[in-house]
Amino acid sequence: MSQASLLSSPIEYLKGVGPLRADMLKKELDLYTFGDLLQHFPHRHIDKTLVLDINAIQPDHDFVQVRGVLQGLGTIGEKRARRMVGQLRDNTGAIELAWFQGISWVQKNLVEGQQYLVFGRVSFFNGRAQIVHPEIEPYIPQIIAQKSALEPVYSSTEKLKARGLNGKQIGKLTQALFTQISEKDLPENLPAHLLKDRMNRWEAFRQVHFPSSPEKYKQALQRLIFEELFIAQLRLALIKIERHKNSKGHLFSKVGDYFNNFYNLHLPFELTGAQKRVIKEIRQDAAKGYQMNRLLQGDVGSGKTMIALLAMLIAADNGFQSCLMAPTEILAQQHYASLNELLLEMPIEVALLTGSTKIKERRRILQGLLDDTIHFVVGTHAIIEDTVQFKNLGLAVIDEQHRFGVAQRAKLWKKSSIPPHVLVMTATPIPRTLAMTAYGDLDYSVMDELPPGRQPIKTVHRFETARASVMDFVKTEIEKGRQAYYVYPLIEESEKMSFENLMEGYEQVKSFFPEPKYKISMVHGRMPNDLKEMNMQRFKSGETQILVGTTVIEVGVNVPNASVMVIESSEKFGLSQLHQLRGRVGRGMEQSYCVLLSSVKASREAKDRLKIMCSTNDGFVIAEKDLEIRGPGDIDGTRQSGALNFKLASIINDREALEEAKKQATLICEKDPTLNLPEHAVIKAYLQSQKSKIGWGKIA
Ligand code: ADP
Ligand code: MG
């Protein structure tokens, strides 16, 4: 058998498996081949040289091994509840053993009065320790010496256990596997220079299953984790190289008068270091001849709009038009107003195109886009309608990405034969490690710095019982001329309920802030758009002091005079959503506040979340915590990605290894993008073997 084919041998060919067990292994654990079993790693190891005194067993012990004399063996209970019980007694105490299945085996094989060595998971039942379905074998003094200090523990499933394939049996199969394969079946796949301080591949696989010492186990694990991350990073880097090679894009070869005049004469502030870096990344990207597809992550308030504008000016310098799309009419208007203000003295024509643009104006804009008298168009979905045609669209900026679907973005492609460069801006930070794995094949920029002089928002957590004093505090802020947001959660599954809650809340806020002294706007998702816009506008202009709303106010709205946000039932929100909401305050010169109200009965986890919110304003830190709490599958704004299905590596625990893997993969790709150098032959061979191997067993 050739080396590649041995690991791809169907699992039924392994000694001790056979067709029936093979079927179960496939269904239950997705183990189709020898190679799959090899990668069914033990989740931990246990020390079988250790024998505990029975009276030393504590409730927090998980698995224990004890030795003693078996007594009082007998069945109790009737029919389905029938079980076999017995006691194991040493000279310190006794523990109960119980069997619900395999009773006849017990009756045939176990003898009262004999010494046994017993291993299993302890549980406490009515304050008494017991082991259900223990591993049990006659005790002879030499037996301990034959045990391993690091016996692997494999996961199994209830169904497999019922068919005699528990974790221990799976360990036996793995042992059998290692008698059939040899070093040549697991050829090295890391180039020599990465092996200096690392265990080789064969050794690592053996040691991770059956370690000869804790140190060896650690080294083996580290080697395999690195390998997993390195191969993933290499794949992403190669995909990116391939995409750049194949996607022709407009060439923004120069930075000209539009950019330079604006930068030197009209820029109202010094750019932050992060802004400078990102605009440079964009400039370099767009000058390379391939289509830029860049994701820009910047925390709320980091100044993404300025990046959009500067990129659009570079497009204009190269004779191209740009569009800037926002998810709501309010945001589009806001962008339009700020671009107009910034470009007041520049010979640049900006238009606003939304669903409510009047027919005559719309006609003028469509014509202007066709004959290139309009350079920038800002708008909503209205921009991607088929009737909107550009003379030469070079750049599309999409703000607050998560509200735009992929299909909508694809529509932009069709607007010119060479697709425009795309810059997607999102204010939902995701942790760097997650971005590296989930977006590693995209062009990707981060703005992790806020403009100077911002006062951090003060955030506190209060129970609902303290609502009245919170309202009093809000009152004092309003007396000072500030404005306030009141946010209620809108839970999709029970929208009706929360709608009623919102109305109740509105009445409650009204009773605290009676008209005509106070004026209140309300917005929610069920409101017709124009009414919603009108209410927002009244708040924006300062006509109303309080805005009561659901999370529709979440995205991008800029009312610098609003300095307080009260979030009701804040325990019902996720961390990143709370962070987005809170980003609506703290946008002006004044000290801002965020009050998180929750029920006293909120879960412990929810209270921990609120604690995190009170301790930091940094979206990236919050995203890291969110990742720790929820795991990588659930984070907002991430796409499903095979890159996240690691067998051993964890993007939460193995950050350093990930950074190192990325660094090494990037170095190799820069030097040798085709992997044709002799020292990279091992990687190339490995990647190719992975490609051809895909799921033979699964197809059969
Ligand atoms: P976001 O990244 O949330 O979209 P904005 O682009 O709305 O942030 O910017 C937030 C505020 O910060 C705006 O008022 C903007 O004018 C201001 N701003 C942006 N960049 C800077 C800077 N470098 N220095 C000072 N203020 C800045
Ligand atoms: Mg913004």
Pocket test for ligand 1, best of 263, 266, 269 (most atoms within 8 A of CB): 269
Q: How far apart are CA 639 and CA 654, in angstroms?
A: 21
Same domain (yes/no): 55, 142: yes
Same domain (yes/no): 393, 488: no
Ligand 1 atom closest to the CA of 558, numbered from 1: 7
Question: What pLDDT score was predicted for residue 408?
Answer: 61
Which residue's CA is minimally distant from atom 10 of ligand 1?
Answer: 301
Q: Is the beta carbon of 189 within 6 A of some atom in ligand 1?
A: no
Strand order in the sheet with 458-463: 458-463, 593-598, 562-567, 483-487, 546-549, 520-523
**What is the 320 CA–ligand 2 centroid distance (Å)?**
23
Q: Is the beta carbon of 428 within 6 A of some atom in ligand 1?
A: no
Q: Is the beta carbon of 303 within 6 A of some atom in ligand 1?
A: yes
Pocket test for ligand 1, best of 296, 306, 342 (most atoms within 8 A of CB): 306
**What is the 298 CA–ligand 2 centroid distance (Å)?**
9
Q: What is the DSSP string of 395-431?
A: EEEEESGGGS-HHHHHHHHTTSSSPPEEEEEE-S---
In a domain, 515, yes or no: yes
Question: What pLDDT score was predicted for residue 639?
Answer: 44
Identify whether the C-beta of residue 424 lies closer than 8 Å to the C-beta of residue 637.
Answer: no
Q: What is the CATH number of the domain that holds 70?
A: 2.40.50.140
In a domain, 665, yes or no: no
Q: Is the beta carbon of 130 within 6 A of some atom in ligand 1?
A: no
In a domain, 198, yes or no: no
Same domain (yes/no): 344, 412: yes
Which numbered ligand comes closest to the C-alpha of 297?
A: 1
**What is the 388 CA–ligand 1 centroid distance (Å)?**
30
Alpha helices in 318-385 (DSSP H): 329-342, 359-370
Instruction: Look at phi and psi of residue 77 and say left if phi exceeds 0, alpha if psi is from -120 to 50, else beta.
Output: left
**What is the 479 CA–ligand 1 centroid distance (Å)?**
27
In a domain, 502, yes or no: yes
In a domain, 405, yes or no: yes
Query: Apex CA 64: angle with CA 60 and CA 67, to 5°?
Result: 135
pTM reported for the whole predicted model: 0.74
Give whole-number Cα distances, 22 to 12, 34, 170, in Å. Answer: 5, 11, 12
Q: Is the beta carbon of 302 within 6 A of some atom in ligand 1?
A: yes
Same domain (yes/no): 407, 522: no
Which residue's CA is minimally distant from atom 24 of ligand 1?
Answer: 451
AA identity, residue 397: V
Same domain (yes/no): 578, 501: yes
**What is the 303 CA–ligand 2 centroid distance (Å)?**
7
Q: Mark which of 550, 582, 616 sits at the end of a domain.
A: 616
Q: What is the CATH number of the domain that holds 406?
A: 3.40.50.300
Same domain (yes/no): 273, 380: yes
Same domain (yes/no): 266, 358: yes
Longest C-alpha distance within the chain, in Å? 100
Q: How far apart are CA 400 and CA 420, in angstroms?
A: 18
Domain count, the chain: 3
Q: How far apart are CA 258 and CA 395, in angstroms?
A: 15
Q: Which residues surround ligand 2, an ion (CB under 5 A)?
A: 556
Long-range contacts from 240-245, C-beta under 8 angstroms, 24+ separation: 240/440, 240/441, 240/442, 240/443, 241/669, 241/673, 243/290, 243/293, 243/441, 244/288, 244/290, 245/290
Q: Find, among 454, 432, 457, the residue nearest to 620 by Cα.
A: 432
Question: What pLDDT score was predicted for residue 12?
Answer: 92
The single residue listed with the structure tokens 């570079």 is: 314
Q: How far apart are CA 516 and CA 60, in angstroms?
A: 62
Ligand 1 atom closest to the CA of 272, numbered from 1: 23
Q: Is the beta carbon of 586 within 6 A of some atom in ligand 1?
A: no
**What is the 526 CA–ligand 2 centroid distance (Å)?**
24
Give whole-number Cα distances, 170 to 37, 58, 152, 185, in Å. Answer: 9, 28, 10, 21
Same domain (yes/no): 381, 498: no
Identify whether the C-beta of residue 99 lies closer than 8 Å to the C-beta of residue 133.
Answer: yes
Query: Apex CA 83: angle with CA 77 and CA 88, to 5°?
Result: 120
| Residue 105: DSSP 8-state | H
Q: Which residues contact 405 (CB under 8 A, 6 or more apart)?
A: none
Q: Which residue range(s) make up the domain with 138? A: 49-147
**What is the 260 CA–ligand 1 centroid distance (Å)?**
20
Q: Which residues of the chain have pLDDT under 70?
A: 1-4, 401-416, 491-498, 552-556, 631-644, 692-700
Residues 356-372 have pLDDT tens digits of: 899 999 999 999 999 99
In a domain, 645, yes or no: no
Q: How far apart are CA 390 and CA 386, in angstroms?
A: 11
Q: Is the beta carbon of 120 within 6 A of some atom in ligand 1?
A: no
In a domain, 449, yes or no: no
Which numbered ligand comes closest to the C-alpha of 309?
A: 1
Which residue's CA is minimally distant from atom 18 of ligand 1?
Answer: 303
Same domain (yes/no): 400, 469: no
Residues 575-600 have pLDDT tens digits of: 888 988 898 898 888 899 999 999 99
Same domain (yes/no): 418, 507: no
Q: Find, among 128, 116, 77, 119, the residue nearest to 100 by Cα.
A: 77
The single residue listed with the structure tokens 């403009």 is: 451
**What is the 556 CA–ligand 2 centroid distance (Å)?**
5
Ligand 1 atom closest to the CA of 560, numbered from 1: 14
Q: Is the beta carbon of 426 within 6 A of some atom in ligand 1?
A: no
The two three-digit tokens of residue 328, written as one number? 């709501």
In a domain, 472, yes or no: yes
Same domain (yes/no): 472, 569: yes
Pocket test for ligand 1, best of 278, 305, 581 (most atoms within 8 A of CB): 305
Q: What are phi and psi of 475, to 5 degrees?
A: -60, -45
